[in-house]
Amino acid sequence: MLSRRSLSRLALIPLATPRIARASFPDRPVTMVVPYAPGGSADVMARVIAPEMSRVLGQNVVVEQRPGAGGHVGGAYVATTARADGYTILLGSVAKSIGPALQTLNYDPVTELAPLGGIGTVPMMMIVSPVSPLRSVQDVIAAARARPGEISYGSSGIGTGSHMAGELLAAASDTRLLHVPYRGSGAVYPDLIAQRISFLLDAMGSAAGQARAGAVRALGVSSAERLAAFPDVPTIAEQGVRDYEFSLWLGFFVRSGTPAEAFSRLEEANRLAMATPVVQERLLQTAAMPIPTDAAGFRTYFRTDVARWAELARSGRVARIEG
């Protein structure tokens, strides 16, 4: 028979178990670094996903902007400065594939960042001011041929998806366009609407709402086929830019060397968050196509895209980025 002292000891055992559980990852808030300015497509998506990840992790996921250098200021911070403990994650984009091929960076996205899970790949929309005389992609190309180097396009920064979408458009249409980089796509809109720049190729995440509101006029989409959400907007390819297709992917990374327990929990949080109705609805609104949400699948996806941009650079289809 158990003594009163033994029973007292047994009664203490359940009290110790919750303390052990609370000590496992995460036991404090997680920071989600968005390397772009507020208002852009990455920021909008981050603020939809973060609360859903918070529910899975049982800790707040706090969105923190670290814009600059086309997303590489935030990327370098996560890769080289933030601790490799899982408490800092990066919302990265196609710029992480472009950078190793075309830029001199102060970090290596391929070796110093570990792919955690994908979000989706989003087509771009070519937009102009609602009072712009340019009313089609053909108009843009004709103007660029008539005035080489004068037709300008904004981007969310050097080496970003919106920059490279413009570079590929210039190469595919054999025109010379003037690139004007900004600190995030949201910063482009005032100058676009005021016609201080000619056009913008922006991700659907931010362009769609502006187009629906009438703040800008949509000229074309970068997908292979027209989008169900904008059936009257033709693709860029069908307007004479043969085989033109471009999309902007988004996904999560952590610093290489992050402990397996933390990595696994974060991977699970992303996978479950991506399956929630609120995130799925947002992806649907932006015409996003799925990419792997598991770490292994996203790692293969990312490295394949890195190789694709390296080949584009070797072939001369895109030039090395200076500055």
Q: What is the pLDDT of residues 33-53, one digit of tens each?
A: 999 888 778 888 999 999 999
Find how far residue 105's CA is from the centre of its chain.
18
Confidence (pLDDT) at 41: 80
Mean pLDDT of the chain: 90
Asked whether residue 83 carries a pLDDT value surpassing 80, the answer given is yes
User: Looking at residues 214-223, what average pLDDT do you find?
Assistant: 97
Find how far residue 35's CA is from the centre of its chain.
9
CA distances from 236 to 98, 121, 123 (A): 22, 17, 11
Q: Running DSSP on this structure, what letter comes out for residue 69?
A: G
pLDDT band at 243 (very low <50, low <70, confident <90, very high): confident
Q: What is the pLDDT of residues 84-125, one digit of tens each?
A: 999 999 999 999 999 999 889 999 999 999 999 999 999 999
State which of 192, 218, 239 marks the end of a domain: 239
Confidence (pLDDT) at 159: 85
Q: Are residues 163 and 131 in the same domain?
A: yes
Q: Are residues 132 and 232 in the same domain?
A: yes
Q: CA–CA separation, 234 vs 125, rounded Å?
A: 10
Confidence (pLDDT) at 323: 56
Q: What is the pLDDT of residues 256-287, one digit of tens each?
A: 999 999 999 999 999 999 999 999 999 988 88
Whichever domain contains 207, its CATH number is 3.40.190.10
Q: CA–CA separation, 318 vs 276, rounded Å?
A: 38
State which of 185, 204, 239 marks the end of a domain: 239
Check if the beta carbon of residue 24 is closer than 8 Å to that of residue 58.
no
pLDDT band at 16 (very low <50, low <70, confident <90, very high): very low
Asked whether residue 220 carries a pLDDT value surpassing 50, the answer given is yes
Is 235 part of any domain?
A: yes
User: Looking at residues 10-15, what average pLDDT do you find?
Assistant: 42
pLDDT band at 162 (very low <50, low <70, confident <90, very high): very high
Asked whether residue 1 carries a pLDDT value surpassing 60, the answer given is no
Give the count of domains, the chain.
2
Is 83 part of any domain?
A: yes
Q: Are residues 113 and 205 in the same domain?
A: no
Is 3 part of any domain?
A: no
State which of 192, 210, 239 marks the end of a domain: 239
pLDDT band at 70 (very low <50, low <70, confident <90, very high): confident
Domain extent at residue 56 = 28-121+249-315
Confidence (pLDDT) at 223: 92
Q: Are residues 51 and 191 in the same domain?
A: no
Is 272 part of any domain?
A: yes
Q: Are residues 136 and 198 in the same domain?
A: yes
- 3 state SS of 276: coil
Q: Are residues 39 and 135 in the same domain?
A: no
